[in-house]
Amino acid sequence: MNKENKFFNALEDIFIGVKVEGVGGYVNLLNIKSQYFSNIKQTLKNDIENTLAPMPSFRDEFFDKLYTFFNRYFSDSGAIYFNYSPLHQNIYERVYTNNKDVVLFWKTKMLYYVKSEILFQDLSIDVEGKKFFIDTSELEHKKNDEKKELVFDFVGAKETGKETIITLRVTYSQNGRKTKEDELLKAINKHVQSDVHKHELFKAIRTFKSQTEFDYFINKDAKGFLEEQFENWLYHYMFKETRNNFNEARLNQIRALKDIAYKIIHFISQFEDELMKIWNKPKFVLDSNYVISLSEMDESLIDKIKEHDNIDQQYDEWLNNHYIKDIELDNIDPENYPFLPIDTKYFDSLREEIIDSITNLDRSMDGLLIKSDNYQALNTLKDKYDDIKLIYIDPPYNTEDDEFIYKDKMKHSSWLTMMENRLEIAKNMLSEDGALICQIDYKEIHNLKHLLADIFGEENIVQLISVKTSSPAGFKTVNPGPIDVTEYLLFVTKDKSKFPFKKMYTKVDYDSNYNLYIENIDDSPEHWELTPIIDKFYEVNEIDDNKEAKEKWGDKWKTIRDIFIGDFALENAERIVSKRDPHKPTDTVKELLKDSKNTEQVISVEREDNTNLYIYKGGSLSFYANKLKEIDKELVPTELLTDNWTDISWAGIANEGNIELKNGKKPERLLQRIIEMTTDSSDDIVMDFFVGSGTTTAAAHKLGRKWIGVEFGEHFEEKTLTRMKNVLNGDNTGITKNLDFQGGGFFKYYTLEQYEDTLKNAIYKDENFTMYNANKSPYEQYIFFRDEKLSFAVEGDETNNTYSFNPDRIYPNIDLPESLSNLIGERIISKNDNNLILENNPPINLNDLDLQYIKPLIRW
């Protein structure tokens, strides 16, 4: 193959990406790219011929250099980034021209990470004259959170003239089965005349895998990136390779090379720009519904719900979720079942009537649950919610056990890109006095800390908190080294100077000689005096310090109980008080008094400083707690909260919220502490865009905070949504028993249009190709400008203002008011079929919609 053909073949592969067949948004995009490329290819060839006409001797070198450059920056999926290290590396310049002395850099930093999509189709692969046909007919759909390996089996071989067709069937591994390539090769070679070599089989399998499993990326500035890299490469080429042959002819050759390269860059980058616009397009809200407690509804609406055709479906849900027993429907009323959750998805005809009864709709809601890729949710909500007080996230930890799908060689880089894309938006959604707390383990904590410092500023990193998540007891097998029982919370603020830090206390179990006191008591409690027992101990025994005590009593001096009862006993004090377990004073009295009787006679005296003195009526012992706080509805001894949390139990959380989830779940008690540490008001909003099973939103609701949860997993309905319904119904697990919360509330949930949906539905010109302006060079204009995209939903003539917008032509279940609310960035006061009232915005007539409101949703 000559260098010219090699260049054009490579350019086609690079530009179009992986050749796939099938139905879907990404397939649609590749077909669009292919069509545009076939039309621009001849224009490009003509330009190259005209450019090379005066310099025919430069032809081979010209194509060789173009191939060398462009092949350097494209991945298997067509994404533009550092696929290979650049020849000219000036990474240090980025550090020295910055005010920071350390700058975090990674391979995919300039990209958007688009969650991996798995594309499967039958594939024919030619390897050195042998054709492998990969049959995917038995390849079942793989869920996003599954980690299954592909297994290849020999089906048969067919000889047709000079061609040998070898059929392999691909399935997912069952019971850990793997492809044994040596055995597979033996099976193949029993049925073919020309032996298949191992490297040929390996290449066929690798080709199939490379064409079906990608990380997808979109370059944020493909044109700028490629031009910058070309300038660096050209500098190397000019002043290294050509420095001994630098004349006017050579300069003209370099100019020709740059001219054509920039035309290619401009054309290629337009597709990245189009992808970026689709990725960042505000998305339509779909399938909106509300969940509201029975007690918050008008009695007339409750009667209509009971008479509705779909009441049986709602009734079955109540039964299945154990909200009610098998009772007569007539007995269901707000008095007997005040917190019974009503889901409006069962009552389409009543939805608007139910919502019309609620004033100031968005401000009245307790929460919002969104099924969506979290980047799409953040990007869609960012203008409407810029006052979030706390964002807590528990992202995938980038381990083999979580659901983060990545190419192994891009493991850390993909993860960082995914996190950066989302955290940059999240920061701007925080209120000025807001905070973000991210939970992580040791595998990515070093990268995450640098990333947060880059985004929030080093000065706004507050703390790294360690959390003990489990006990080593019961571990059957462990890796070499210490057992891993710790995760970490990285605590950052938007602006540390504005964040209202407050003292937090944690329960402690005091058992130290410094926590025992002697009191000299008269009849008036205000005259009681408190003296550390260790000081009294030294005084009574005429010793000065611990060293003398150790010499006199050895280790026995450490146990004050023994010393009291032994060496100078109880007669040395009128009162002996202890911080140890004051909420169980009787047990400690029994322990200290040993054989004394009447130990149940313990009374509690509340002192003016809100501490309690526990006194044994029949003797000389009392128990005193200096820092008593209300924790879990008990007055218990406490100390100031530190950055080492070992006191939160993770035992038994698999069923918290009455939702079973064995892995990845966090205890509500952990979220209670985080929420109480960072928020105060019932108007404060708590957000979690990796909400999982809903622990964050459940804890926030029980603590009386507003909340937003985002989740895209297939367990959204089964786990996340169901858990929040359980909370409204009065879920008694988790932190409920320690709060006043009994149930009740009102929240909304919906699905967002996704990137793949837009790609699939957008209309691009695929025939009768003409540029927008035929008088201009195709490199000088945006080739997608005239494409219809989603504007086919606009009927009539836009130019003379005789048009209408029909959202059902795009999706049959669009919530237009909510979509507009997100787009405009104002909360909903009220809405109905005709009008939408938003805060700080003129009323919007939904039946005569100004096109300005919807253009960003249908054209980009």
Structure tokens at 183: 């055995």
Contacts of 355 (CB under 8 A, 6+ apart): 290, 344, 361, 831
Residue 556's pLDDT band, with cuts at 50, 70 and 90, is: low
- Higher per-residue pLDDT: 422 or 270: 422
Residue 843 has pLDDT above 70, yes or no: yes
Residue 682's pLDDT band, with cuts at 50, 70 and 90, is: very high
3 state SS of 290: strand
Residue 846's pLDDT band, with cuts at 50, 70 and 90, is: very high
pLDDT of residue 77: 55
pLDDT of residue 795: 86
Structure tokens at 592: 């200290």
Same domain, 294 and 275: no
- Residue 557, number of CB atoms within 10 A of its CB: 21
Exposed, middle or buried: residue 214 (CB in 10 Å: 0-12, 13-18, 19+)? Answer: buried
Nearest to 58 by CA among 266, 260, 235, 233: 260
β-sheet bridge partners, residue 621: 576
DSSP H stretches of helix in 753-850: 755-761, 816-824
Contact 108, 410 (CB under 8 A): yes
Contact 334, 302 (CB under 8 A): yes
Same domain, 725 and 742: yes
CA 92 to chain centre: 32
b/e burial code for range 585-604 (CB count within 10 A of at least 16 → b): beebbeebbeeeeebeebee
Nearest to 437 by CA among 687, 720, 699, 694: 687
Residue 640 has pLDDT above 60, yes or no: yes
Is the residue at 815 inside a domain? no
Same domain, 443 and 474: yes
Structure tokens at 64: 């060789």
pLDDT of residue 507: 74
Phi, psi of 464 (to 5 degrees): -110, 115
Contact 632, 738 (CB under 8 A): yes
User: Are β-strands 461-468 and 486-493 bridged in parallel, bridged antiparallel, or unpaired?
Assistant: antiparallel
Same domain, 495 and 538: no
Give percent of the chain with pLDDT exceeding 70: 73
Give percent of the chain with pLDDT exceeding 90: 40
Is the residue at 299 inside a domain? yes
Residue 423 has pLDDT above 80, yes or no: yes
pLDDT in tens, 753-791: 998 889 889 887 655 455 556 677 767 777 787 788 999
pLDDT of residue 242: 64
Q: Quote the pTM value.
A: 0.79
Contacts of 176 (CB under 8 A, 6+ apart): none
* Cα angle: 780, vertex 757, 376; to 5 degrees: 85
Same domain, 409 and 497: yes
Min mean pLDDT across 351-365, 444-458, 513-527 is at: 513-527
pLDDT of residue 95: 53
pLDDT of residue 668: 95
β-sheet bridge partners, residue 342: 292
β-sheet bridge partners, residue 494: none
* Last-in-domain residue among 598, 621, 639: 639
pLDDT of residue 748: 98
Contact 222, 80 (CB under 8 A): yes
Residue 854 has pLDDT above 50, yes or no: yes
Residue 260 has pLDDT above 90, yes or no: yes
Residue 794 has pLDDT above 60, yes or no: yes
Residue 80's pLDDT band, with cuts at 50, 70 and 90, is: confident
pLDDT of residue 93: 52
Residue 840 has pLDDT above 70, yes or no: yes
Residue 197 has pLDDT above 80, yes or no: yes
Highest mean pLDDT among 136-150, 240-254, 577-591, 805-819: 805-819
pLDDT of residue 38: 75
Residue 449's pLDDT band, with cuts at 50, 70 and 90, is: very high
* Last-in-domain residue among 255, 280, 305: 280
Residues in the chain, overall count: 860
Phi, psi of 580 (to 5 degrees): -70, 120
Same domain, 370 and 481: yes
Amino acid letter at 712? F
DSSP H stretches of helix in 382-493: 411-429, 445-456
Is the residue at 319 inside a domain? yes
Same domain, 350 and 476: yes
Distance CA(814)–CA(808), nearest Å, equals 7
Residue 320 has pLDDT above 80, yes or no: yes
- Higher per-residue pLDDT: 127 or 472: 127
Is the residue at 256 inside a domain? yes
Contact 459, 496 (CB under 8 A): yes
Residue 89 has pLDDT above 60, yes or no: no
Amino acid letter at 178? K
CA 329 to chain centre: 41
pLDDT of residue 419: 95
Mean pLDDT of 110-129: 73
Contact 765, 381 (CB under 8 A): no
Distance CA(592)–CA(564), nearest Å, equals 9
Start-to-end C-alpha separation, the chain: 41
Phi, psi of 602 (to 5 degrees): -120, 130
Same domain, 459 and 390: yes
Nearest to 769 by CA among 784, 779, 759: 784
Mean pLDDT of 408-432: 89
Same domain, 473 and 563: no
What's the domain count of the chain? 4
Residue 174's pLDDT band, with cuts at 50, 70 and 90, is: confident
Mean residue pLDDT of the chain comes to 79
Min mean pLDDT across 270-274, 520-524, 646-650 is at: 520-524
Amino acid letter at 690? F
User: Are β-strands 505-507 and 685-688 bridged in parallel, bridged antiparallel, or unpaired?
Assistant: unpaired
Residue 255 has pLDDT above 70, yes or no: yes
CA 619 to chain centre: 60
Residue 424's pLDDT band, with cuts at 50, 70 and 90, is: very high
pLDDT of residue 212: 52
pLDDT of residue 123: 75
Is the residue at 76 inside a domain? yes
Residue 612's pLDDT band, with cuts at 50, 70 and 90, is: very low
- Higher per-residue pLDDT: 744 or 616: 744
Distance CA(426)–CA(472), nearest Å, equals 36
Q: What is the DSSP letter of 2?
A: -
Structure tokens at 501: 């830090």
pLDDT of residue 190: 87
pLDDT in tens, 93-106: 555 556 677 778 88
Min mean pLDDT across 18-22, 196-200, 682-686 is at: 18-22
Mean pLDDT of 116-127: 67
Residue 728 has pLDDT above 60, yes or no: yes
Is the residue at 758 inside a domain? no
Residue 473's pLDDT band, with cuts at 50, 70 and 90, is: low
Is the residue at 364 inside a domain? yes
Residue 587's pLDDT band, with cuts at 50, 70 and 90, is: very low
Contacts of 209 (CB under 8 A, 6+ apart): 150
pLDDT of residue 747: 98
Residue 624's pLDDT band, with cuts at 50, 70 and 90, is: very low
Nearest to 494 by CA among 561, 430, 559: 430
Same domain, 455 and 555: no
Residue 136's pLDDT band, with cuts at 50, 70 and 90, is: confident
Residue 21 has pLDDT above 80, yes or no: no
pLDDT of residue 76: 54
Contacts of 352 (CB under 8 A, 6+ apart): 832, 833
Mean pLDDT of 826-839: 92
Is the residue at 304 inside a domain? yes
**Tokens 């009681």 belong to residue:** 528
Same domain, 401 and 300: yes
Structural domain for 108, as ranges: 3-116+218-280
* Last-in-domain residue among 579, 612, 639: 639
pLDDT of residue 837: 95
Same domain, 497 and 532: no
Min mean pLDDT across 539-553, 592-606, 680-694, 784-798 is at: 592-606
Highest mean pLDDT among 190-199, 371-380, 646-655: 371-380
3 state SS of 76: coil
Min mean pLDDT across 244-248, 372-376, 499-503, 840-844 is at: 244-248
pLDDT in tens, 56-65: 999 999 999 9
* Cα angle: 397, vertex 399, 403; to 5 degrees: 75
Residue 712 has pLDDT above 70, yes or no: yes
Residue 438 has pLDDT above 80, yes or no: yes
Mean pLDDT of 177-197: 87
Residue 406 has pLDDT above 80, yes or no: no
Alpha-carbon separation of residue 845 from 604, 817, 831 (angstroms): 66, 10, 10
pLDDT of residue 256: 94
